[in-house]
Amino acid sequence: MSSVLCLLCLLLLDAGALGFEIRKETFTHQKITENAILNTTVQLCRALAQADGTVFIFPAQPYTAEAVAAACNSPQSQKSFAEAIGFIQLRNARVDILHLLDAEYHFDSESFALGRKVITDGLKAVKASIKRNNFEAARGKLGDILHSLQDFYSHSNWVELGNKFPNPNLIRTDTNIGNLADQSRATCRNCNGDDCTNNILEDVIQEKILTSGYFKLTSGSKPKGKCSHGGPFDQTSKTEPIGGINKDKPTANHGFLHTDAANLATAATSQLLEDIRSAIGDRPFLQMLGITRGSNKVLCFVIDTTKSMSDDIDTVKSVTLSIITSKVGTANEPSLYILVTFNDPGFGLLIKTTDPQVFKDAINSLTASGGGDLPELSLSGLQLALSDAPLNSEIFLFTDAPAKDVNLFSTVIALIEQTKTVVNFLITASLVTNRVDVWEQQSSMTESEAQLYRDLAQASGGQAIEVTKGELPVASSIITESSTSSLVVLLQAARSPGVADNFFFIVDQTVTNLVVYITGSAVTFTLISPTGETQQSTGTTGSLITASQSVGNFRTLKLNKQVGQWQIKMVSTNPYTLKVIGQSPIDFLFTFVEASQDSFGGFDAIDRRPTAGVNGTLLVSVTGRASATVTEVALVESSSSVEIKGVVEPQGNNSFLVQFDMMPSVEFVVRMKGQDSSTPPVVFQRQSPTSFRTSNITVTANPDDILVPGTPFTVPFTVTSRGRGGNFTIRATNNQNRFNSTSPASLVLEAGGSVNGTVNISAPLNTPSGTEVTLTIEAEAPEGTDLNYIVLRISVVNTVTDFTPPACQLLSLQSNCSKNCSLSSWALSVQVTDGTNGTGVDHVSLTQGSGTMITSPAPGNENTTLVSYSASCCSPVMELLAVDRVGNEGSCRYSDANFLTTQSPLLYLSLLLLGQILTKVDLQ
């Protein structure tokens, strides 16, 4: 089973059950995965350094993400590296939650072939995703398959057979897994009481027969003579042969081999990582793990390319040029470039590249045209960017028009929350109170249209910067300049409507380049430093602000660094936002988690809004300072400064579980405080830029996460309402606008009840492997009073190699057509074949001709279908449609040419001109 070398040990707490206590000598999935990733990365970076002729200094043991990133000459990557490892670990653990009883995910019950298929199919998806720069998807799938791979060593008798190396056949499709035990072959005897050291039969060991333990929660039945997994939950271990063979932990039935199993699992994990590296290359492999030479930042532009945007596009071109010239080759070089354009009615040019030149060329080739009426498809463009950008990205959207697709507002919010992406809008429209004729008022926006962008910016922790076209170059260079490595948020707040308020933030020793952003009109403030110095926004004197710049509604201040608590007193009756950022190696990561529903305990990350008004849990870790502890985590309401503090429980490994008695029912941000162990300690404060919300609705779905083009893909989902019932609106959207999908538009729920629905997606056959589908399913309560969603990421693996339709070959044609067509007939027989690599003929149908067609499989050749057709000479043309098993369609047309030439020359001529006379048969 699952819980294995350990299930979410990190998070298991006292849940007991199959879980593992947190003990240093116990190897867990977490630990095995982390060790193998760190070690493989060290080996790889060492090889790269040798190749470059540079010195490589091994980090101290035990390795940490921080030290390994530094050794790899990418200290600025340590947060993204730690995050990548954490994500892979969470997905590894999730296999126990989603597939607890699916034997093949754990190599239980001798399901070797299926288990290997889980790994090799997943491995294909990982490689394909990396090739398309979909690193997030690659990490997730990697976590999944590592779980199964590692379980093999705990659940099979590989270790007992005396193997000292991992089984290389688990990551290949073209070899034997080993000498597998027949279904009827006995493999175990009863344990001797608690002693299971000799329960595997001698002949099995001698002949090196591979077996694994059977596992069932509810029934004790298993094939006769077979080994069991063992442990208190496994019912099969209570029937003969009694006992088990798992090595999940030191106290398990074969716990004496726990360390050996864990070491082999580690080596196997390294072997799989090595296989990926050699398939896709060193740099893409490191980038999948979050290690890049540059800043690990994504430069992501979403650009309106309608006619009125030509000045703005010139600005984007020069900003891009300046970023690329000034940052490429430095530690601030973006590691990934994304460009999305939108227009109206079109949108969706998407360039995702690691090559700055490709990006520059794409930007340079942009032109402005079209768009029709004033509003444009800005949210469609933004949805694409949010779906394709890695987590924690920053997006810059350029437009001068209101959104036409406001129906995507909640989908965009969902994606912002789930990806923790910051969205900045650069808006060059003049604000008007009334727009009478949209066709004549180019580049204008009403207050409420602008508010939509402001709301999205605020929810994401970004800025909605409103400037004239002339001011855009200055505004965009300020804001894009901020996109540097190691950027941390010290404070993020907004007030809408505007109201005077005081805000506090802590500046620690590690923070440099302290900058304050303020958006809003007619905002004044007073800054108070830790030493009590003050400076007014209106005053020209003071030493706290070293530089200040204003453009449009956007103001930026550079602050003199003083360590300690600062205060800023804001005064305005207009809406405003305030953001304080700096650069520091210390930051934090967090995930909303919830206790899993099964009886085994453990926590799973959630991909929707947490439940409102009940207790909630956050998993928090500090990056960039191994000795740091979290001292306080608070959920701060966005519209006031009301905060809910959680109870922090250290989990070891720099991880902290934070319990909140009651999740807020209004929008909030996450703020953490911590300190390290130096004297005096570094006391720091960090905040999430993203705002979050809770909901009384839950949407759950656990679909297969691999979609095969040409195969129907269904996503069953469940909507539950803790609050009111009624007619709920359902919206299912995905980022692949070429894909057809269907879903219910509404579902009726009873108060406190739940209801099931299904989304069906079909991908065109030519969809390349590694394409990622980001599917958002939303459920909205009547009158829009509440909303929740689930965001699912599904990888496409195209197993189709058959892109050619079946072809026809005429075998014979007979005709006795005479002048009087009704008295004569013609007949033919045709062989339809689907080629060498074909999937075979699925069906043949008659699409023209009034004769009789009979089809039959060709004897001894299932790829071929025989067709015989006979018809009256009055119907001298026939056409058949042949479809192969993956839906490629071919058609063949035949006619009795001689009959046509003599009897119906006009028809013959027109068919000839159309190139549709495929065969001419001489009638003697």
Interface residue list for Ca ion (CB under 5 A): 306, 308, 344, 371-373, 376, 401
Helices (H), 389-540: 409-419, 447-460, 472-481
Q: In the complex, what is the shortest distance from the CB of residue 377 to ligand NAG, in angstroms, rounded to a whole number?
A: 21
372 versus 782: smaller Cβ distance to Ca ion = 372
347 versus 739: smaller Cβ distance to ligand NAG = 739
Exposed, middle or buried: residue 583 (CB in 10 Å: 0-12, 13-18, 19+)?
Answer: middle
Distance (Å, rounded) from C-alpha 298 to C-alpha 385?
Answer: 11
384 versus 755: smaller Cβ distance to ligand NAG = 755
308 versus 736: smaller Cβ distance to Ca ion = 308
796 belongs to the binding site for ligand NAG (CB under 6 A): no
- Sequence-distant (6+) residues with CB within 8 A of 609 are 417, 692, 693, 694, 695, 788, 789
756 belongs to the binding site for ligand NAG (CB under 6 A): yes
574 belongs to the binding site for ligand NAG (CB under 6 A): no
Quick one: how far is CA 194 from the chain centroid? 45
Interface residue with ligand NAG among 748, 751, 854, 909 (CB under 6 A) is: 748
43 belongs to the binding site for ligand NAG (CB under 6 A): yes
839 belongs to the binding site for ligand NAG (CB under 6 A): no
Residue 97: strand, helix, or coil: helix
Residue 658: strand, helix, or coil: strand
372 binds, among Ca ion, ligand NAG, none (CB under 5 to 8 A by kind): Ca ion
410 belongs to the binding site for ligand NAG (CB under 6 A): no
725 belongs to the binding site for ligand NAG (CB under 6 A): no
665 binds, among Ca ion, ligand NAG, none (CB under 5 to 8 A by kind): ligand NAG
Task: Write the single-letter amino acid at 94.
Answer: R
696 belongs to the binding site for ligand NAG (CB under 6 A): yes
- Per-state percent for the chain, helix, strand, coil, to nearest 5: 25, 30, 40
496 belongs to the binding site for ligand NAG (CB under 6 A): no
513 belongs to the binding site for ligand NAG (CB under 6 A): no
Binding footprint of ligand NAG, residue count (CB under 6 A): 31
Interface residue with ligand NAG among 451, 718, 891, 919 (CB under 6 A) is: 718
Torsion of CA 142, 143, 144, 147, to 10 degrees: 120
Instruction: Give the count of beta carbons closer than 10 Å to the beta carbon of residue 800.
Output: 19
Helices (H), 651-792: none
Is cis: bond before 497, omega within 30 of 0?
yes
What is the layout of strands, in order, in the sheet containing 852-858? 807-815, 825-833, 861-872, 852-858
Distance (Å, rounded) from C-alpha 237 to C-alpha 239?
Answer: 6
764 belongs to the binding site for ligand NAG (CB under 6 A): yes
Question: What DSSP designation does 252 have?
Answer: S
762 belongs to the binding site for ligand NAG (CB under 6 A): yes
**Residue 408 structure tokens:** 């995507």
695 binds, among Ca ion, ligand NAG, none (CB under 5 to 8 A by kind): ligand NAG
Q: In the complex, what is the shortest distance from the CB of residue 312 to Ca ion, in angstroms, rounded to a whole number?
A: 10
Stretch near ligand NAG under the rule CB under 6 A, chosen from 129-137, 174-182, 612-620, 675-683:
612-620
Distance (Å, rounded) from C-alpha 757 to C-alpha 714?
Answer: 10
723 belongs to the binding site for ligand NAG (CB under 6 A): yes
373 binds, among Ca ion, ligand NAG, none (CB under 5 to 8 A by kind): Ca ion
Q: In the complex, what is the shortest distance from the CB of residue 306 to Ca ion, in angstroms, rounded to a whole number?
A: 3
In terms of Cα–Cα distance, which of 902, 910, 894, 915 is closest to 826?
894
150 belongs to the binding site for ligand NAG (CB under 6 A): no
Interface residue with ligand NAG among 405, 786, 884, 896 (CB under 6 A) is: 786
Exposed, middle or buried: residue 874 (CB in 10 Å: 0-12, 13-18, 19+)?
Answer: middle
Stretch near ligand NAG under the rule CB under 6 A, chosen from 35-43, 89-97, 162-170, 440-448:
35-43
* DSSP β-bridge partners for residue 868: 829, 854
Q: In the complex, what is the shortest distance from the CB of residue 378 to Ca ion, in angstroms, rounded to a whole number?
A: 10
541 versus 836: smaller Cβ distance to ligand NAG = 836
Stretch near ligand NAG under the rule CB under 6 A, chosen from 80-88, 237-245, 504-512, 749-757:
749-757
Residue 849: strand, helix, or coil: coil
The contact set with ligand NAG (CB under 6 A) reads 35, 39, 43, 266, 270, 612-615, 659, 665, 694-696, 716, 718, 723, 727, 740, 746, 748, 754-756, 762, 764, 786, 801, 835-837
